[in-house]
Amino acid sequence: MAARQAIQVGNKTVKPVLSTSHGEARKRVLNLYKAWYRQIPYLVKDFDIPKSEEQCREKLKEMFLKNKNVTDIRVIDLLVIKGQMELKESVNMWKQKGHIMSYWKPTEEPKPENFLSKFFNGNE
């Protein structure tokens, strides 16, 4: 029933992805956060990553706070769906250790300075 309701956006009527209100979307986000939080000890142990549970919890908080300014309910729902997919892949061990460690990879890589560094990075 709720999935059939439409949300008015300007003059355009759109169907919701999952949530029909901000409260419902917020509840989904909190449930996803709690699910990730509960799985952290198992992920650290199973993947044998060189990070502590506390460091993983800080990274989890950082990843969720990165999207705190998103207000469109449909975008929030899509982010939740992607987060659930990531969690399922991690729990079922469909990911490898390198995939988990890529969360700590710096977002900007330093520019290569010498010829060999440029060569290895594929830059000219």
User: What is the residue extent of each domain of the chain?
Assistant: 19-106
Asked whether the predicted pLDDT for residue 2 surpasses 70, the reply is no
Q: pLDDT of 15-73, one tens digit each?
A: 778 888 999 999 999 999 999 999 999 999 999 999 999 999 999 999 999 999 999 99
Instruction: Measure Cα distances from 102 to 21, 36, 41, 106, 113 in Å.
Output: 33, 17, 18, 9, 24
Q: pLDDT of 83-122, one tens digit each?
A: 999 999 999 999 999 999 999 886 666 677 888 888 887 7
How would residue 5 be classed by pLDDT, with cut points 50, 70 and 90? low
- Confidence (pTM): 0.74
